[in-house]
Structure 1
Amino acid sequence: MKTKVKTHNENLSENENQTSDNIDDNSGDIKLTIKEAAQKVDESVHVVRNWMKELKNHIPTLQGENGYHYFDKSSIEQLLLIKKLSRDQGYSIKQINHYLSTGDDPLKPARTPEDPVMLELEVIKEHLKRQEEFNQALINRLEKQQEYIQNSLEKRDQQLLDVVKETQQAKSEVAATKKKGFFARLFS
């Protein structure tokens, strides 16, 4: 018993034949493969497969005799809705499932684990702000203290210079009197 192995080109031509057969002229219903449906909603095949896996109860597909899933107009509309929720509104698969399960009730975003983190971040920011204010007050006080010390040192230096000048002047006067000669002292 020989089995014929199909080449890639034969598979492609067979898929093209299936695609042309997917449009039923009598009823106007469209039956698209997953690849065609993915192209129709402008998503990758992998994304559509993932949606089918995760949201299988919400995507109506027709299963052919060959076991493949085919998409009709309502399936495409559902895929477009899922795409809108996912891409435009940023819903997760879990949120989309909830949205579709509750009959399109608006979904309030669940409190995310980031919320406590955000609260903690705000507390840390407030603490940091107070710390910066304290640091600035401390810097101002240190600058005033430094200025006071500088002024005190300048006054002390000036007083010291004055004392040194007076001492030198007194020594000069004493030395001037000592330098008078023997005759000057004798006649004075």
Structure 2
Amino acid sequence: MSDLTVYRTTHPAVLTHRNRHNRTLTQWRRNATQLLTDLGFPGRTWIVGTAFGDRWIVGITPRDDIELPLRGWRRTRFDARDVFVPDRRTRGGKLIAAQMSGCKPPAEPHIGLPGMPAEVEDYDHNRIHTPGLKEMDGAVWVTWKVAPAEEQVRLDMWARVPLSVYHAARERRQDNLEAGRV
């Protein structure tokens, strides 16, 4: 059984925010893919770090455990996995790090979402929770593991919906994806 709290909206300010974020993310992905190619790693994946809504490129995923890094890079661990990062002890590594810092990923999509808090504190468990976001049925859906206080949500923009409505929308979306209608 899930304890999710779900909100849904089609408010123009929220849809505008979401569309702007999607365009920014698409452009960043193009730039990041080109940078990977320029740095000698075509077709590879960036490791992106995130904390308190801020995001940054950490490094590049190695192909396997024995791949050696290119000149200007070094292998290290991040978030329990191997990653190639710029070797800032070298001139080349410093140049690579500068290029990577110029290709900053956009903020997480829930940051600045109109009418919805970016995070909720769970004092009982000493945690900070952020919402999950989905776009389905022409609306933006937000899910919370810990419900925000009613005064934190603009109820003129967001409607709290039953979990069954959310799951029905997810199933419709999955059916449409499988049928090739999305």
Tell me the TM-score normalised to structure 1 length.
0.20
Relative to total residues, which structure has the larger strand share, 1 or 2? 2
Relative to total residues, which structure has the larger helix share, 1 or 2? 1
Q: Which has the larger radius of gyration?
A: 1
Higher relative contact order (CA 8 A, sep 6+): 2
